[in-house]
Structure formats: structure tokens, C-alpha cells
């Protein structure tokens, strides 16, 4: 995996793009995208807020404006941005505002922090398509907004599922998401899964 930068993205590896996604708890989102081919760097962190250098404790108050996110590098020759969005929307509930399961607060909001105009257009078009197809019983509330900042999470949150696989949250919340990825996105899954 590639090491990701702190607050701005200026060392994107050749042939790669970056996207920042919020889909509830970043432990879940990181674990999901670790299973997808073409994703070559993932860092959980905080984005979208007004506080510099927030800590996990700060973000859990719900007052920083930050969401728990993952920032990832992907190779568009190996995975299309639309495929990333499909996995993103299928592995969390994008119809609940500031809530994913038992996790409640603006830090758990569904969000796409786009890094260029092409990502914005694709994300907005895809969102409209999914809403029009009535894939969900309610409209998608995913925030689609320009990327402004990213602060990496503390080391204890990095690679969380792989290091705590037997912890109850991992078994009851994350494991079902990974099983869904394996079933629904077998064509996108890394071979070692």
C-alpha cells in the first residue's frame, strides 16, 4: 500500500487518482475497500470540517464538522470510479442522515469529497441514476462536496479490522459488509480474498 499525505494531496503516484469517502465508521469503510482490486493506498481519517488536526475524541463530539472518512488511491486502469461508487453505496445506508446503524452523529454522514470536476459529475450523475431506479426505499442523502482537508486518523484506527478481527464490532458490523462485497462484487474483489 502507498503512504498517503496529511492535509493535502500532492504526491499522487503516477497513473493513480485519489478520492475521499465517508460511509459511517471508517473501520468498516477501510475494511471494505481493502478487499477491492485497483485500490493501492487507504488511510482512515477525518475530512470536511473546520477544526485543524482533530483527534478521534474531537470528532466524536459531533462539533468539528469532520466526517470519519477513508482517503484512497486507485488505479483507473484497474478499477473505474463508477465501480468505486457502486461499492461505496452498496456497503452502507446512503439514505440515513448522520447515521449508520448504531453510529449516530454528523461524523458518520455519507459523503463523497471529490478531488476534481470529473469525479463530481460522475458522482452526481450516479446518485441521480440510483435514486431514479429506486434502488433504496428513500432518497440518497449522500453529501457530494469538494475536497478541502484530510487529517489521518490515529494509528490505532489504521488497518483496524485486520488487527481486531475477533472483536464483537468487527464480527457483527464489519464482517457482514465484507461478506456482501465477496458475494456482490466478486468481479472487483482482490484474488486473495
Q: Which of 19, 21, 25, 59 is catalytic?
A: 25
What is the spatial distance between Cα 193 and Cα 41, in angstroms, rounded to a whole number?
Answer: 17
What is the spatial distance between Cα 163 and Cα 175, in angstroms, rounded to a whole number?
Answer: 13
Residue 25 appears among annotated catalytic residues: yes
By CB atoms closer than 10 A (0-12, 13-18, 19+), residue 179 is exposed
Grid-cell match 468481479, residue found: 187
Cβ contact 56:150 at 8 Å: no
**The three cell numbers locating residue 44:** 482512515
Catalytic residues: 25
Amino acid at each position: 500500500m502507498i503512504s498517503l499525505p496529511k492535509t493535502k494531496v500532492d504526491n499522487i503516484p503516477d497513473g493513480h487518482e485519489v478520492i475521499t469517502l465517508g460511509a459511517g465508521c471508517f473501520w468498516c469503510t477501510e475494511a471494505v475497500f481493502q478487499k477491492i482490486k485497483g485500490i493501492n493506498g487507504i488511510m482512515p481519517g477525518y475530512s470536511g470540517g473546520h477544526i485543524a488536526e482533530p483527534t478521534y475524541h474531537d470528532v466524536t463530539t459531533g462539533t468539528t464538522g469532520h466526517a470519519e472518512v477513508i482517503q484512497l488511491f486507485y488505479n483507473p486502469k484497474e478499477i473505474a470510479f463508477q465501480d468505486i461508487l457502486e461499492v461505496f453505496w452498496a456497503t452502507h445506508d446512503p439514505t440515513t442522515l448522520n447515521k449508520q446503524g448504531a453510529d449516530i452523529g454528523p461524523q458518520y454522514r455519507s459523503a463523497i469529497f471529490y478531488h476534481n470536476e470529473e469525479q463530481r459529475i460522475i458522482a452526481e450523475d450516479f446518485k441521480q441514476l440510483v435514486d431514479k431506479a429506486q434502488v433504496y426505499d428513500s432518497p440518497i442523502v449522500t453529501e457530494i462536496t469538494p475536497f478541502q482537508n484530510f487529517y489521518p486518523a490515529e494509528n490505532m484506527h489504521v488497518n483496524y479490522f485486520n488487527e481486531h478481527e475477533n472483536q464483537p464490532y468487527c464480527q457483527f458490523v464489519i464482517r457482514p459488509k465484507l461478506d456482501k462485497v465477496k458475494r456482490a462484487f466478486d468481479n472487483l474483489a482482490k484474488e486473495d480474498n
